[in-house]
Amino acid sequence: MVIRGLWVCKIRLVKHFGLAQVLCLLVFTCLFVTLFIDYIESWVTSLRMNGVGGAQGGILPQSVPPTRPEEYLLMPSPLVCQRAKPYLITMVTSAPANQKARQAIRDTWGGEVQVRGYRVMTLFMVGQVSDTVLTKQLTDEAREHGDLVQGRFVDSYTNLTLKTLSMLAWARRFCPEARFLAKVDDDVMFNPSALLQYISLNWGAQERELEELYLGRVHLNVAPDHDPGSKHFFPKDAFSGAVFPDYCSGTAYVLSRPAVLKLSLAAAASPLPKPLPPEDVFVGLCANTAGIAPTHCPLFSGGPPVPYARCCYQAMVSAHHTKPEEMLNYWEDMHSKAPCSWVGVRSSLGICKLRALLGYLLWPTL
């Protein structure tokens, strides 16, 4: 249908303007789409957002109980943020056994303390394990690097929501200095420099200090799974709507200081559903209760994996499904040559995003 329509349209155009002009127009359109794909994506996404945010804003408590230091088995000095005064704190949710992933992050983007003139800090968030050898290794790792926060909950995939709650509580109590908190998975190539550039263009101003920001790749119109046998089962009494409020992909998202506080209030306002919902859905529900709408940023991956290209990765804020060795290689390559030119970044970003989209259309389950 659509193709026939286009074909008819093209024939008419050719009759009217001649082949050269039509080809010219086509080339121009392709070029435009490639160079400005992120703007186009932002625009299309904003049209499709369901805007539930705030519509069902519940009543939030005035405060949450203060976080107790005993809730953490391991953590850096309680003064770590007072001393470092980070503008951005990145908390990497990591499985205890993923030592290689954590080391790759320390050796690349997580090792930076100053980016674009802003102080940044990266910490790792883990839970408890029953294995005594691994427990000992975690203690040693924490002593050596001083960048582990271990919450009092059993570390498992289904308990990821507890990890996020533990992370929010830690940041509230021990890092109120940070203006932004990024939650990142340990298989994500994160790019604080690209994030800080985006923030300073859109959110950095002093007068926006009190605004809530919940930024990432927004998942739209996801339907809850009410089948009790399913891995992603979501009980009806916990959420009865046809689709979840829009939420940011859990691979990487960013919260401003006021958003951290309001999310915590919203989480405290309602009992935790059982079984626990997926972490990102849960954060989205809390944000919705708190009246915070997510903001989509096309520079976060989170849908189809984005194939590596040097200039593209210089612009992307996050790219997930990155193995530790890949992270080291990409980081070295990204910093081996001069930064890419504007045209270099625009075209590379357009091409890698188009490739990711094509990959998704061909293999949607990946």
Ligand X SMILES: *[C@@H]1O[C@H](CO)[C@@H](O)[C@H](O)[C@H]1NC(C)=O
Minimal distance in Å, beta carbon 231 to ligand X?
12
Q: Which residues contact 116 (CB under 8 A, 6 or more apart)?
A: 193, 196, 197, 200
Binding residues (CB under 6 A) for ligand X: these are 153-154, 156, 158-159, 162
Minimal distance in Å, beta carbon 162 to ligand X?
6
**Nearer to ligand X among residue 151 and residue 302 (C-beta):** 151
**Nearer to ligand X among residue 128 and residue 288 (C-beta):** 128
**Nearer to ligand X among residue 29 and residue 158 (C-beta):** 158
For residues 87 and 110, what is the distance between their CA atoms, to the nearest angstrom? 14
Minimal distance in Å, beta carbon 164 to ligand X?
13
**Nearer to ligand X among residue 24 and residue 154 (C-beta):** 154
**Nearer to ligand X among residue 158 and residue 200 (C-beta):** 158
Minimal distance in Å, beta carbon 159 to ligand X?
4
Minimal distance in Å, beta carbon 183 to ligand X?
19
For residues 319 and 328, what is the distance between their CA atoms, to the nearest angstrom? 14
By beta-carbon distance, which residue lies closest to ligand X? 156
**Nearer to ligand X among residue 162 and residue 317 (C-beta):** 162
Minimal distance in Å, beta carbon 109 to ligand X?
30
Q: Which residues contact 318 (CB under 8 A, 6 or more apart)?
A: 184, 188, 189, 190, 191, 251, 252, 299, 300, 301, 302
For residues 45 and 249, what is the distance between their CA atoms, to the nearest angstrom? 14
CA angle 287, 55, 258 (to 5 degrees): 35
**Nearer to ligand X among residue 162 and residue 189 (C-beta):** 162
Minimal distance in Å, beta carbon 146 to ligand X?
24
Minimal distance in Å, beta carbon 158 to ligand X?
4
**Nearer to ligand X among residue 130 and residue 206 (C-beta):** 130
